[in-house]
Amino acid sequence: MRCEAALLAGAILFYGSSCGQDQGKPAGARGPLTLRIMAPSDGYQTVQEVAYLLGRTNPGVQVKVGDMAVEVYSTGGFARDGIPLEMGENTIEVVATDATGQRVIRSVRVIRKEPQPEPPPSVLRVVEPADDIALLPGETLSIRAVGPPGGTGFATCFGGEAKLALTEARNDRGEPTGSYSATVKAPARGSGKAAVVAVSLRRAKNGPTMEAKSKGTVDVWDPLAVQVGECRDDRSGITMGLHSVRLGGPYLARIPRGVRFEIVGRQGGNYRIRLSRSRSGWIPVEDVARLPEGTLVPHNYFTSCEINGDEQHDRVTVPLLEKVVVAVTSESEPLNKLYLDFFNTHDALTWISHKTGARVVGTITGEQMEDDWYRLTVPLKCKQIWGYWLETDGKSLTLVIRRPPALAAEPASPLKGLMFALEAGHGGSSDGAVGHMGTKEKDVNAAAVAALKGVLEGRGATTILVRPGDTNPTLTARVEAANEVNADFYVAVHANAAGNGRGFLKVSGTSTYYRDKHCRLLAQLVYNGLLGLGWNEFGVVGNFAYSPLQNTKMPSMLIEQAFMSNPADEARLLDSTYQQQQAEAVADSLEQFLRRVRE
């Protein structure tokens, strides 16, 4: 076959089991036909049944990987997923043929091996507690260790006060796994001293005993001692549980300096704080000053609430007796409202005063959710929540609500007169994801934003680039730039990336992201617009904790255009015709959104 094809095509420029060498000019330039296999590397070993091949040649040439013709993108990149492998050595041949009949052939060897079961762990290790923990009596301690399977294990904790048998988990086939665990309640008195958890394991009756200690210590606090903490950070965050905080959040509340709360436990770098009778949260230890013994636990109430407004905003103000944790959340289905949750607070409200300055706030109601958790519900008489935030002068707390912007009358574009804060993700020293053909995410983001700016301004909107040029302002600076000009929208543009463990073309598609419920419709309509450009679905993603989506004072969303890790997506994002189409689709979707929420 090879010879026949060679005769038909004329000259074979190169043949052999070589890869990785780029010959001649870079792909895309006119000149000699180049062909490079970028992955897998020659001699690559795998237990998978298939291989994934990525390569680069001159744009416009025809490429066959094995027996299959593959698409060559405008970057010269090409890929084939799911190339079947025989057990042992496989040779994958790649043939590139240009319009003149010039050919280059390269090949790569891939060795498929039988999967080897992972050897069981030979040493004993305590996985949990990994951090220093402080508990109150009666709270649960989880202990987990890994070691050789089939043993008999014990844990000693609370400085020797409890000795427990460990239970070993079994797999689906009923075999021991070497994963041992136990849970125990903290004893009903303070031990006064933090102690490690010691674990012992014996595999045979008279065999040797393995021993290990936890990295973290466990302390049991005196339940009768009251500890009060004060926030010493200007914008600390309280989380609902302990997890690795991705992108910062989600937070139950953001709190300013001076807010006080009762501390009831600790795990690693976080204090557990009591919010109400049944609710607790976690706050970083470094954001908290522990106050002297005898400091009172804050308790708050307010008797009055005033609803008024200025030129641009409605304002809901309550006096603040003590600085307590206050959380504000939005609800948009079926009706737009804001919840203002005051912790360490009881209902004393007898005076809700509505003044004519308020335009969008409806009738406020209060509800005691628990003994010490009071909620104000603020209904909004507008089709869209346009932004809100809390302000405090130390003596009172104000919920500030942005009113709907005035929209241009038809037939003018409703975009006319609106201000858009546009963020091209990354920039400067932050490249973002880098495509296989070397494309930097920061550059495709900037190109997409430039196109969007052009289209929006063409329809009468004004824009501000919160990441101008090839700079890298902090996320906080980007947020502040948008808040400062009182933008009507914040749109962040990024491009996604995924691992290639399951292929180069497997993960593709577009997605949009929002943080709060009232931004869902916006993200949904822009997503629909992007799908109209022929992308695969990657979804509308809610609760996304990208900090500008949490901290901007206007409706906000993020677009992950497509995947830099997919060579087909990468080529499309670089295409200026596509960039223009995308900008128009986003602008159309924004118009559609504005017509839906027009008052």
320 contacts 304 by C-beta, under 8 angstroms: no
What is the nearest approach in angstroms of Zn ion to the Cβ of residue 441?
5
Does 427 sit near Zn ion (CB under 5 A)? no
Does 77 sit near Zn ion (CB under 5 A)? no
What is the nearest approach in angstroms of Zn ion to the Cβ of residue 493?
9
Identity of the residue, 271 or 546, whose beta carbon is nearer to Zn ion in the bound complex: 546
Does 509 sit near Zn ion (CB under 5 A)? no
What is the nearest approach in angstroms of Zn ion to the Cβ of residue 487?
21
Bridge partners (DSSP) of residue 78 are: 55
Structure tokens at 351: 């005076």
Does 572 sit near Zn ion (CB under 5 A)? no
What is the nearest approach in angstroms of Zn ion to the Cβ of residue 398?
35
- In sequence order, which residues have a C-beta less than 8 Å from that of residue 364 and are 6 or more positions away? 305, 307, 316, 352, 376, 377, 378, 379
What is the nearest approach in angstroms of Zn ion to the Cβ of residue 126?
38
The CA distance from 485 to 456, in Å, is 17
Identity of the residue, 82 or 473, whose beta carbon is nearer to Zn ion in the bound complex: 473
The CA distance from 353 to 316, in Å, is 10
Does 315 sit near Zn ion (CB under 5 A)? no
134 contacts 229 by C-beta, under 8 angstroms: no
Residue whose token pair is 């060897």: 109
Identity of the residue, 475 or 597, whose beta carbon is nearer to Zn ion in the bound complex: 475
Identity of the residue, 494 or 572, whose beta carbon is nearer to Zn ion in the bound complex: 494
- Report the residue from 151, 414, 432, 567 that binds Zn ion according to the rule CB under 5 A: 432
What is the nearest approach in angstroms of Zn ion to the Cβ of residue 435?
12
Does 494 sit near Zn ion (CB under 5 A)? yes
- In DSSP notation, 140-169 reads EEEEEEE-STT-EEEEEEGGGTEEEEPEEE
Identity of the residue, 342 or 563, whose beta carbon is nearer to Zn ion in the bound complex: 563
491 contacts 546 by C-beta, under 8 angstroms: no
From 27-35, 380-388, 446-454, 493-501, give the range in contact with Zn ion by CB under 5 A: 493-501
What is the nearest approach in angstroms of Zn ion to the Cβ of residue 475?
12
The CA distance from 274 to 516, in Å, is 25
Query: Looking at 418-536, which runs of residues are DSSP E strands?
Result: 419-424, 462-465, 489-496, 510-513
Does 478 sit near Zn ion (CB under 5 A)? no
What is the nearest approach in angstroms of Zn ion to the Cβ of residue 421?
17
Nearest to 305 by CA among 325, 321, 324, 319: 319
Phi-psi region of 158 (alpha: psi -120 to 50; beta: other; left: phi over 0): left
- In sequence order, which residues have a C-beta less than 8 Å from that of residue 344 and are 6 or more positions away? 261, 262, 275, 276, 297, 298, 299, 300, 322, 324, 325, 372
What is the nearest approach in angstroms of Zn ion to the Cβ of residue 424?
10
- Report the residue from 249, 425, 509, 548 that binds Zn ion according to the rule CB under 5 A: 425
Identity of the residue, 403 or 494, whose beta carbon is nearer to Zn ion in the bound complex: 494
Identity of the residue, 153 or 425, whose beta carbon is nearer to Zn ion in the bound complex: 425
Does 153 sit near Zn ion (CB under 5 A)? no
Identity of the residue, 459 or 494, whose beta carbon is nearer to Zn ion in the bound complex: 494
How many residues of this chain bind Zn ion (CB under 5 A)? 3
The CA distance from 551 to 388, in Å, is 10
From 23-31, 295-303, 471-479, 490-498, give the range in contact with Zn ion by CB under 5 A: 490-498
Does 313 sit near Zn ion (CB under 5 A)? no
The CA distance from 192 to 195, in Å, is 10
Phi-psi region of 540 (alpha: psi -120 to 50; beta: other; left: phi over 0): beta
Does 147 sit near Zn ion (CB under 5 A)? no
Contacts with Zn ion by CB under 5 A lie at 425, 432, 494
